[in-house]
Structure 1
Amino acid sequence: MPVVQFTANLARQTSAPSCEVSGSTVREALDAVFAQHPALQGYVLDDQKAVRKHVIVFVDATAITDRQQLSDAVRPQSEIFVMQALSGG
């Protein structure tokens, strides 16, 4: 099953443990994580359920291309990494 991991800065905001979930697309995998940890969804997705502009999602070290529908394919052994951009000086 795919493994979804979150950066430490997301974990500081809310519970963001590494999760092993089922799913064949990024949407299915993230929905499975959000079912277990609902507070994460607001940090990762906007009100249209698209990836927030300050968040990037990688599948097997490649950034996803579909930030709206999250239809990028996920294999059973995939690693999904969710990163929140940091800014400041």
Structure 2
Amino acid sequence: MAKLVFTQQLRRFTDTPQVDTPAATLRPALEAAFAVNPRLRGYVLDEQGHLRPHVAIFIDGLRVRDRVTLDDALRPDSSVHVLQALSGG
């Protein structure tokens, strides 16, 4: 099963479960995590269900391509890391 891992930055705001999921794409995998902690949805997705600008997701070390549909494919052994994106100047 694919494994979702949320980094420590998000733990400051809410519980961030590590989730194992049989999902074939990113969105249903995220939904599995939101089922465990519904508050997590607001930190990861905006009101339209798109990935928030300050959140980055990597699947097997590669940044997700589509921040709107979140249809990136997952393999059964994928590692998905969800973290707050860094910005600055």
Which consecutive aligned stretches of 4+ in structure 1 deviate over 6 angstroms post-superposition?
none
**Structure with the higher helix share, 1 or 2:** 1
CA distance in 2, matches of 1:66, 1:13: 25
1:26 aligns with 26
Q: How does 1:61-76 map to 2 (within 5 A)?
A: 61-76=61-76
| Deviation by residue 1:46-89 (Cα, 9 ceiling, x = unmatched) | 00101000101000000000100000000110000001124579
Q: How does 1:21-60 map to 2 (within 5 A)?
A: 21-60=21-60
Q: State the secondary structure of the residue aligned to 2:30.
A: helix
CA distance in 1, matches of 2:4, 2:88: 27
* Identity across the alignment (%): 47
Q: Is the 8 A contact 1:2 1:23 kept in 2?
A: yes
Aligned residues: 89
AA at the equivalent of 2:10: L
Unpaired runs of 5+ residues, structure 1, are none
CA distance in 2, matches of 1:43, 1:70: 15
Q: Is the 8 A contact 1:11 1:17 kept in 2?
A: no
AA at the equivalent of 1:20: D
1:5 aligns with 5
TM-score normalised by the chain length of structure 2: 0.93
